[in-house]
Amino acid sequence: MSNLVSSCRRNFLRNFGGLTVGLAVSSSAFAKLSAAPVERHLQFYNLHTGESLNTTFCVDGVFVEDSLRDINTLLRDHRTGEACVMDPQLLILLDDLKTLMGNKQPFHIVSGYRSPATNNMLSAQSNGVAKKSLHMQGKAIDVRVPGVDVRALQKSALALKGGGVGLYTRSDFVHLDVGRVRYWGS
């Protein structure tokens, strides 16, 4: 498990370092940062473990370590107990989605981090699970929001153009990731 967590941490540091360099170079990115909310706040409910979290994960552009640790724990692979450092851009995407929708409800978590073992098992059971899923890198999440139709959730997520958006109406969730912009599902 420590190698997997180390790998996830390396991905986080590489991504966060690239973000920092990009902000230092890009004046338009700096303008966006200046216009960013003072606090970024998320609420989660894990459908598999029954755990809830209501947390502020970023204050004045600085990520709150204890909050990130709590989020990583809540979004762990519920089958194996393994956790990963979730990509902060995914958390920002969720916060932006919450804000765009005016949502006050917690995100109900269908799937956060997936260990390779869990992803392989799910992939063998369904052709709807990517063999190289971004869930294994802490860059994807499957969610629903109480009282919000998944099509409305998908439409709002698509408007953000923050990465991949998959619609799974039969299973009543939307997949979000911070990979390349794309969409699928029905």
Integer Cα distance of 24 and 26 in angstroms? 6
Whether residue 66 is predicted with pLDDT greater than 70 in this model: the reply is yes
Task: Select, from the ranges 27-36, 67-76, 115-124, the one with the highest average predicted confidence (pLDDT).
Answer: 67-76
| DSSP one-letter code for 25 | H
- pLDDT of amino acid 117: 94
Which pLDDT score, from 0 to 100, does residue 93 have?
A: 98
Please indicate whether residue 108 or residue 4 has the higher confidence score (pLDDT): 108
- Mean pLDDT in residue range 112-136: 88
Question: Tokens representing 132?
Answer: 């190289």
| Mean of all residue pLDDT scores within the chain | 85
Under 8 Å between Cβ of 93 and 52:
no
Binning pLDDT at 50, 70 and 90, where does residue 126 land? confident
* pLDDT of 30 higher than 50: no
- Residue 23: is its pLDDT beyond 60? no
Domains contained in the chain, number = 1
- Residue 131 or 96, more confident: 96
Residue 122 structural domain: 2-185
Q: List residues bridging with 185 in a β-sheet.
A: 167
Distances (CA, A) of 98 to 18, 43, 104, 149, 150: 25, 10, 8, 14, 14
What percent of the chain has pLDDT above 70?
80
User: pTM, whole model, 2 decimals?
Assistant: 0.80
- Reported as a pLDDT band with limits 50, 70 and 90, residue 12 is very low
Is residue 161 within 8 A of residue 130, CB to CB? The reply is no
- Which CATH number is 164's domain given? 3.30.1380.10
